[in-house]
């Protein structure tokens, strides 16, 4: 069936800020979908609150709304744009839930909007676990026994009936949020309560436990003619009980026979037909009893998902793109396979390699957590190898967590080892390795871990071989076998007690080099036209005519090629923002007539979509892997400044290996990153920095701190995201901290700075070509310095800085960029205290705020930087006016962050110098209060308009509390406070109702929060002597979804926002597309937007 001609405008909904369980894979799918719809000639209207996405780039959709993802806002957008259809299957659980909400409030019917991609009926069938279970039983399929409950009493009896352990699951939630494993009656009530809270429909399911069963996923597609394909089958290495998002997973399925697999496929087909998935992709999850083969259905997701992104990357089959086409009427046989260009999309990819995905956890931020049914990982690495062994080792070294492959946990005791095996965690594979080293057998380990013996046998081979590596003489054969098994040069070096460079040199001498093979969807059966590669050492040395013809052909000739190093797995501090920059760089190179070559190992990203760059290498970002690609590609140069700290750290060793780094040189990077050198630069420019010192051991640290004066800020060098950073108030805490921090950084030195208390913080993004500097955005943080810039809200333009300070900031940025020798992007962070400007740090690379600045100003910063890297002078790219002063905006943009605290029980939800946020949103408005209000709404913080506010602030904030309290009263709120705060307020003539401190009577504060008698909690933790009750207050508010603010400046901004919200009419603020905002920009900004001076000079067309 051809595409539908009755549709003209289609509304696409994105997934909002990056949160655990819903990350940049939805930018990848959304971008693909939007592109596909536009190619088909539809007008696309897009709504997504996340500015760091490629999909919200203003030339992707016709109308781009960076607005809060709420039913109200969407309804306003629908009223304004009048789309005929809504495509909600590309934006994760968020978009799907919004579609249901819009349908339920009658908005779709009112405006005649058709839900495409998935029908309401199907969404309900798939998402409501109870309806789904009934549907499965009608099909004769097996599901775990389960009971739905919506109150605690019935939860209790259900628990008794099903027996323990029992699984708690909430409907319509994401990443297993709210769910968990309950081992005994004792913990059932609290977990059931929490899950009920999290379910938007206040319904949960208690389910028979099938912990330890084998877990599988099928990524399928179905069209309206009932054509059905399984794009990819995935097997979890971690058995049931560990969320698939947290499991090591492998594609294709490894341990099922054809008959077993085809029966599973038959089930999947039955399920999607019954649920009514008929125009898109769907993920179907199964569990199989390893002893009997009994197969049960776990769940389905009738939309694109994290797994579908993985499946697309693993097979070359673009699920989201094809889902979008199916949604507008095409059938699978009418769509071509992009990779071969010759065969249709209606087929099942055949793999001749193995794909392994390994999750990345934020252990360095939140500690080790036992894994369960609720997802906790923040990113993932995908690796491709000919065998599981090769791909597993590549994935593990791609994680960038210090491990260079399949390595063991450091000196675990017998007891630790057994515990490490039995409890799923981010380091379980390290315990598995340790167990092999201790002589345990695969079958013993399988019994303890539930990991299938097949995987363990493979791992055992690795452990065995590693022992040989340390013992035997290295011949070409042994080296080849080591590499075939995926051992990195570093692992080989470690086994031989030598340096990686030596191991590499030896390997080259022995002639052991990788082949670059194609991901071609068809196992080599057809010629593939899309250059999408992975490296492998599986090619056994063959005696006569080397069977390597295709490898040669992939080598393009002339070097117009530029290699862009990606940012690897998402982690806190390095996520989608950097991928955004890499993608823009690819686009810019294409516009300039250059070829882009992308290297990255993160399957969730747009950068690893095969049509983002001209050539894509799905490889770990280690020196070894990058060098081999460069040697094969022979590019003009390498771009290391867009992917965050990962490529920046590679710049020096690459340069030492003779690679040409485009843009800022390693020497300049050192100038900025080495505190001593940087200090000298600042001095020469007469710029101030907080007093500071460097220490290499705890003793030096103490001395430095005493000289500088407490409080001090302590941090290791060469890390991103404020890892192991802390504010220290005395000797004792400094001693413990120094010991801990010195182990977090490979370049073990500690930077100790005077902590600037109560200072305003400023972030600046700029581009320099060595002559001119374009200061693109000066952002003022809402929170004071001391709260990591990645966790602060900020506004563009600044909302309170004086023109004098602003001017000083611009001047300082310019002189710094020039002095450091920046070519390309630079980010500088400042603090202003008592009118004095201090430089906190300069990062000679793209920063987290580049997408925000680009969206806010409309100037594509990363693209301009790319042009500069390629030698275009800024003067040709931008008008003289922009080179003098930052773009002036006739509106205000505010960035707000989202935090993952809810996923980590027991964690204090407070901010500090160590970054913890996972994502961000942007709010646009005519002024600061309105844009701040929008940013809050978009980040999920629903500021109350009335009710009681509980106040409890640290002493330093007391003076600021008085006006805050008065304003709250003026806005019609009532106040609640504990005794001391109440007395303090009373002294200023402000009345507050009393409440008992925790443990000092009933009801206490926490009780009030639990009873929802409080509509807002303001609690600012003291740095020095934080008491335990502050933690309980914040945590209770968090878990009960009561808005809470932990910072006095945010509180002030929030009051402004509440006032603004109260002032606007009931209809709320207008939703306005970016393209509309941009129309009000000055002509020189619009010219910069259009990319003046970027495009290749085209020869005039012959007439």
Partner 1 sequence: MRQAALLVLEDGAIFSGRSCGAAGEAFGEAVFNTAMTGYQEIITDPSYMGQLVAMTYPHIGNYGVIPGDEESDQPRLAGFIAHEICAKPSNWQSAESLPDYLSRRGVVAIDGIDTRALTLRLREKGALRGVISTVDLDSQSLLRKVRQSPSLIGADLAQAASCPKTFSWSQSGGAESWRLAVMDFGVKYGLLRRLAALGAAVQVFPAVADPRDVLAFSPEGIVLSNGPGDPAAAGYGVAAARAFAESGIPVMGVCLGHQLLALAFGAKTFKLKFGHHGANHPVKDLETGRVAVTSQNHGFGVDTESLPKFLRATHKSLNDGTCEGLAHAELPVFSLQFHPEAAPGPHDALDAFARFAALMAERRRRLASHA
> Which parts of this chain interact with partner 1 (CB under 8 A)?
225-230, 252-262, 265-266, 290-293, 332-333, 342-344, 346-354, 386-388, 442, 452-454, 457, 517, 522-527, 538-545, 547-550
- Which tokens is 938 given? 């978009």
Phi-psi group of 940: left, alpha or beta (phi > 0 → left; psi -120 to 50 → alpha; rest → beta): left
Least distance from C-beta 718 to ligand ADP, angstroms? 9
Distance from C-alpha of 258 to C-alpha of 860, rounded to nearest angstrom:
51
Closest to ligand ADP by CB, 122 or 596: 122
Of the candidates 240, 434, 456, 846, which one interacts with ligand ADP according to CB under 6 A?
Answer: 240
Q: Does residue 401 contact residue 569 with C-beta atoms inside 8 Å?
A: no
Residue 343 Cβ vs partner 1, minimum distance, rounded to whole Å: 5
State the DSSP code for 534. E
Site string for ligand ADP, 183-212 (x = CB under 6 A): ------------------------xxxxx-
* 3-state class (DSSP) for residue 83: coil
Q: Which listed range, 713-721, 826-834, 991-999, 1010-1018, lies at the site for Mg ion (CB under 5 A)?
A: 826-834
**Residue count, binding to ligand ADP (CB under 6 A):** 41
Decide whether 357 or 1089 has the Cβ nearer to partner 1.
357
Residues 467 to 526 in contact with ligand ADP, rule: CB under 6 A: none
Residue 69 vs 335, nearer CB to partner 1: 335
Closer residue to partner 1 in complex, CB, 317/984: 317
Q: Is 614 in the site for ligand ADP (CB under 6 A)?
A: no
Identify the CA nearest to 11 among candidates 51, 67, 53, 487: 67
Q: How far is the CB of 390 from partner 1 (least distance, A)?
A: 9
Using a 10 angstrom Cβ sphere, with 0-12 exposed, 13-18 middle and 19 or more buried, the burial of residue 1034 is buried
By rule CB under 6 A, what string of x and - marks binding of each residue 326-365 to ligand ADP? Answer: ----------------------------------------
Name which of Mg ion, partner 1, ligand ADP, none residue 163 binds, using a CB cut-off of 5 to 8 Å depending on partner kind. Answer: none
With CB under 5 A, what is the number of residues at the site for Mg ion?
A: 2
- Binding partner of 266, given partner 1, Mg ion, ligand ADP, none, CB within 5-8 angstroms per partner class: partner 1
Site string for ligand ADP, 834-853 (x = CB under 6 A): ------xx------------
* Cβ partners under 8 Å of residue 558, min gap 6: none
Q: Is 789 in the site for ligand ADP (CB under 6 A)?
A: yes
Residues 783-822, one symbol each (x = binds Mg ion by CB under 5 A, - = not), give ------x---------------------------------
DSSP string over 96-122: HHHHHHHHHTTHHHHTTPEEESS-HHH
Q: Which helix (H) or strand (E) holds 39?
A: helix 25-39
373 contact choice in partner 1, ligand ADP, Mg ion, none (CB below 5 to 8 Å, kind-dependent): ligand ADP
- Token pair 């012959």 is found at 1102
| Tokens 């011949």, located at residue | 475
Rounded least distance, CB 24 to partner 1, Å? 29
**Rounded to whole angstroms, how far apart are CA atoms 360 and 382?**
11
Other beta carbons within 10 Å of 496: 14
Q: Which of 231, 242, 442, 623 binds ligand ADP (CB under 6 A)?
A: 242
Under rule CB under 6 A, residue 373 binds ligand ADP: yes
Q: Out of ligand ADP, partner 1, Mg ion, none, which partner does residue 207 contact, by CB within 5 to 8 A per kind? A: ligand ADP
Minimum CB–partner distance for residue 763 and ligand ADP (Å): 8
| 787 touches, from ligand ADP, Mg ion, partner 1, none (C-beta below 5 to 8 Å by class) | ligand ADP
285 binds ligand ADP per the rule CB under 6 A: yes
CA distances from 216 to 236, 260, 282, 573, 638 (A): 6, 12, 14, 31, 39
Cβ neighbours around 1086 below 10 Å, total? 15
Residue 847 CB, nearest approach to Mg ion (Å): 8
Pairing of strands 43-47, 63-65: parallel
DSSP state of 956: G
Give residues 707-746 in contact with ligand ADP (rule: CB under 6 A): 713, 720-722, 725
Evaluated on CA atoms 56, 61, 66, 67, the torsion sign reads negative
Least CB distance from residue 560 to Mg ion, whole Å? 35
CB of 952 to ligand ADP, least distance (A): 23
Residues in the chain: 1103
244 in contact with ligand ADP (CB under 6 A): yes
If the CB atoms of residues 522 and 853 are measured against partner 1, the closer one turns out to be: 522
Residue 241: contacted member of partner 1, Mg ion, ligand ADP, none (CB under 5 to 8 Å, by partner type): ligand ADP
Q: 1027: how many CB neighbours lie within 10 A of its CB?
A: 12
**Buried (b) or exposed (e) across 603-638, using 16+ Cβ within 10 A?**
bbbbbbbbebbbbbbbbbbbbbbbbbbbebbebbbb
Give the residue with the Cβ less far from partner 1, 254 or 745: 254
Q: How far is the CB of 132 from ligand ADP (least distance, A)?
A: 10
Instruction: Say whether residue 216 binds ligand ADP (CB under 6 A).
Output: no
Query: Could you please report the per-residue DSSP string of 255-323?
Result: S--HHHHHHHHHHHHHHHHHHT--SEEEEEEEEE-TTT--EEEEEEESS--HHHHHHHHHHS--HHHHH
Q: Which position among 99, 695, 831, 1060 is part of the footprint of ligand ADP (CB under 6 A)?
A: 831
**Residue 601 contacts residue 620 (beta carbons within 8 Å):** yes
Q: Confirm if 846 and 830 have CB atoms less than 8 A apart.
A: no
Name the minimum Å distance from CB 20 to ligand ADP: 11
Shortest distance in whole angstroms from residue 419 CB to ligand ADP:
20
Per CB under 6 A, does 785 bind ligand ADP? yes
CA-angle at 569, arms to 567 and 570, nearest 5°: 90
Residue 753 found at the interface with ligand ADP (CB under 6 A): yes
Q: Which of partner 1, Mg ion, ligand ADP, none does residue 246 bind (CB under 5 to 8 Å by kind)? A: none
Q: What is the full DSSP assignment across 999-1058?
A: TSSSSBHHHHHHTT--SEEEE---SSS--HHHHHHHHHHHHTT--EE--HHHHHHHHHHH
Strands (E), 19-177: 43-47, 63-65, 85-87, 114-116, 146-149, 166-170
**Residue 912 binds which of partner 1, ligand ADP, Mg ion, none (CB < 5-8 A, kind-dependent):** none
Residue 989: left if φ>0, alpha if ψ -120 to 50, beta else—which one?
A: left
In the chain, DSSP finds a helix count (H) and a strand count (E) of 41, 39
- Of the pair 788, 845, the CB lying nearest ligand ADP is at 788
| Shortest Cβ 145–ligand ADP spacing (Å) | 9
Q: Which of 755, 891, 928, 950 binds ligand ADP (CB under 6 A)?
A: 755
| Dihedral over alpha carbons 935, 940, 946, 951 (to 10 degrees) | -90
CB of residue 108 to Mg ion, shortest distance in Å:
27
Locate 239 and state its tokens: 């058995």
Helix (H) or strand (E) holding 813: helix 803-820
For residues 298 and 870, which CB has a smaller minimum distance to ligand ADP in the complex?
298
Pick 244 or 521: Cβ nearer ligand ADP = 244
Positions 137 through 166 that interact with ligand ADP (CB under 6 A): 144
Residues of this chain that bind ligand ADP (CB under 6 A): 144, 167, 175-176, 207-211, 215, 240-244, 285, 298-299, 373, 690, 713, 720-722, 725, 753-756, 759, 761, 785-789, 829, 831, 840-841, 913
Residues of this chain that bind Mg ion (CB under 5 A): 789, 829
């Amino acid at each position: 069936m051809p595409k539908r001609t009755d549709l003209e405008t289609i509304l696409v909904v994105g997934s909002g800020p990056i949160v655990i369980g819903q990350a940049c894979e939805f930018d990848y799918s959304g971008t693909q979908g939007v592109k596909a719809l536009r190619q088909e000639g539809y007008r696309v209207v897009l709504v997504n609150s996340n500015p760091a996405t490629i999909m919200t780039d203003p030339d992707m959709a016709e109308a781009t709304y960076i607005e809060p993802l709420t039913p109200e806002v969407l309804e306003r957008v629908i009223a304004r744009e009048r789309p005929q259809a809504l495509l909600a299957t590309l934006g994760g659980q968020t978009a799907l839930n919004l579609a249901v909400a819009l349908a339920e409030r009658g908005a779709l019917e009112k405006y005649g909007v058709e839900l495409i991609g998935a029908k309401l009926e199907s969404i309900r069938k798939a998402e409501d676990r109870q309806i789904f279970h009934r549907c499965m039983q009608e099909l004769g399929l097996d599901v775990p026994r389960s009971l739905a409950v919506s109150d605690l009493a019935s939860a209790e009896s259900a628990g008794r009936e099903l027996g323990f352990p029992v699984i708690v699951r909430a409907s319509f939630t994401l990443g297993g949020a709210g769910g968990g494993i309950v081992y005994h009656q004792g913990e059932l009530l609290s977990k059931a309560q929490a899950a009920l809270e999290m379910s938007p429909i206040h319904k949960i399911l208690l389910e028979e436990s099938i912990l330890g069963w084998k877990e599988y996923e099928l990524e399928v597609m179905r069209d309206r003619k009932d054509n059905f394909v399984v794009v990819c089958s995935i097997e979890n290495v971690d058995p049931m009980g560990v969320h698939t998002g947290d499991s090591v997973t492998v594609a294709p399925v490894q341990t099922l026979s054809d008959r077993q697999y085809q029966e599973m496929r038959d089930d999947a087909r039955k399920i999607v037909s019954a649920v009514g998935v008929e125009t898109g992709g769907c993920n179907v999850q199964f569990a199989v009893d390893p002893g009997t083969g009994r197969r049960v259905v776990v769940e389905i997701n009738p939309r694109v998902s994290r797994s579908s992104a993985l499946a697309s990357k693993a097979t070359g089959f673009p699920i989201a793109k094809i889902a979008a086409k199916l949604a507008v009427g095409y059938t699978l046989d009418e769509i071509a396979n992009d990779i071969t260009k010759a065969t249709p999309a209606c087929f099942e990819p055949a793999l001749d390699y193995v794909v392994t995905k390994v999750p990345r956890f934020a252990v360095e931020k939140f500690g080790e957590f036992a894994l369960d049914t609720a997802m906790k990982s923040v990113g993932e690495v995908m690796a491709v190898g000919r065998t599981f062994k090769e791909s597993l080792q590549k994935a593990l070294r791609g994680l960038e967590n210090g491990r260079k492959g399949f390595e063991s946990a450091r000196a675990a005791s017998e007891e630790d080892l057994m515990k490490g095996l039995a409890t799923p965690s981010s380091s379980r594979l390290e315990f598995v390795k340790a167990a092999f080293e201790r002589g345990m057998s695969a079958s013993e380990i399988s019994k303890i871990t539930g990991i299938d013996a097949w995987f363990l046998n493979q791992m055992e081979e690795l452990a065995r071989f590693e022992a040989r590596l340390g013992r035997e003489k290295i011949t070409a054969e042994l080296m080849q076998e080591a590499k075939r098994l995926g051992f990195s040069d570093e692992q080989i070096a470690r086994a031989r007690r030598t340096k990686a460079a030596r191991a590499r040199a030896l390997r080259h001498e022995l002639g052991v080099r990788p082949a670059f093979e194609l991901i071609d969807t068809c196992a080599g059966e057809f010629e593939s036209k899309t250059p999408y590669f992975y490296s492998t050492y599986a090619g056994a040395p063959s005696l006569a005519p080397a069977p390597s013809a295709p490898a040669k052909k992939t080598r393009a000739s002339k070097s117009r090629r530029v290699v862009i190093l990606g940012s690897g797995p998402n982690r806190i501090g390095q996520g989608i923002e950097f991928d955004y920059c890499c993608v823009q760089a690819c686009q810019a190179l294409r516009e300039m007539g250059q070829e882009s070559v992308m290297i990255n190992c993160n399957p969730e990203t747009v950068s690893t979509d095969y049509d983002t760059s001209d050539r894509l290498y799905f490889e770990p970002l280690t020196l070894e892997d990058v060098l081999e690609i460069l040697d094969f590609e022979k590019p003009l140069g390498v771009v290391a400044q867009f992917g965050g700290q990962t490529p920046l750290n590679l710049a020096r060793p690459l340069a030492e290996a003779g690679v040409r780094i485009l843009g800022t040189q390693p020497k300049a990077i050192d100038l900025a990153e080495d505190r001593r050198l940087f200090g000298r630069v600042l001095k020469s420019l007469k710029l101030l920095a907080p007093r500071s010192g460097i220490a290499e051991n705890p003793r030096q640290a103490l001395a430095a701190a005493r000289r500088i004066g407490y409080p001090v800020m302590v941090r290791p060098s060469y890390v991103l995201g404020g890892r192991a950073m802390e504010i220290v108030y005395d000797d004792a805490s400094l001693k413990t901290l120094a010991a801990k921090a010195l182990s977090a950084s490979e370049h073990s030195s500690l930077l100790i700075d005077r902590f600037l208390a109560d200072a305003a913080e400023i972030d600046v993004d700029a581009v320099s070509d060595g002559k001119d500097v374009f200061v693109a955005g000066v952002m003022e943080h809402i929170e004071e310095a001391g709260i990591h810039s990645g966790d602060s809200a900020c506004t563009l333009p600044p909302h309170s800085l004086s023109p004098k300070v602003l001017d000083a900031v611009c001047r300082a940025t310019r002189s710094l960029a020039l002095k450091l020798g920046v070519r390309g992007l630079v980010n500088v962070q400042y603090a202003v205290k008592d009118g004095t400007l201090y430089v906190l740090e300069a990062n000679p690379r793209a920063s987290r705020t580049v997408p925000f600045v680009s969206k806010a100003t409309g100037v594509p910063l990363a693209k301009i930087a790319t042009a500069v890297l390629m030698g275009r002078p800024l003067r040709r790219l931008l008008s003289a006016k922009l080179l003098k002063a930052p773009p002036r905006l006739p509106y205000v943009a505010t960035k707000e962050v989202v935090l993952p605290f809810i996923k980590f029980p027991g964690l204090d939800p407070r901010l500090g110098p160590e970054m913890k946020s996972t994502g961000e949103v942007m709010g646009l408005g005519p002024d600061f209060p309105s844009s701040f209000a929008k940013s809050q709404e978009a980040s999920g913080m629903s500021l109350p308009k009335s009710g009681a506010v509980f106040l409890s602030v640290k002493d330093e904030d007391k003076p600021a509390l008085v006006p805050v309290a008065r304003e709250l009263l003026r806005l019609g709120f009532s106040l609640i406070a504990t005794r001391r705060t109440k007395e303090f307020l009373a002294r200023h003539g402000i009345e507050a109702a009393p409440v008992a401190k925790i443990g000092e009577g009933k009801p206490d504060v926490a009780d009030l929060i639990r009873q929802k008698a409080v509509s807002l909690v303001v609690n600012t933790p003291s740095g020095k002597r934080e008491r335990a009750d502050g933690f309980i207050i914040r945590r209770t508010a968090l878990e009960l979804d009561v808005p809470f603010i932990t910072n006095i400046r945010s509180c002030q901004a929030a009051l402004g926002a509440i006032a603004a919200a109260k002032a606007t009419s009931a209809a709320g603020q207008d939703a306005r597309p970016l393209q509309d905002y941009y129309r009000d920009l000055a002509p020189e900004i619009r010219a910069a937007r259009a990319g003046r001076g970027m495009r290749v000079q085209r020869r005039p067309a012959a007439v």
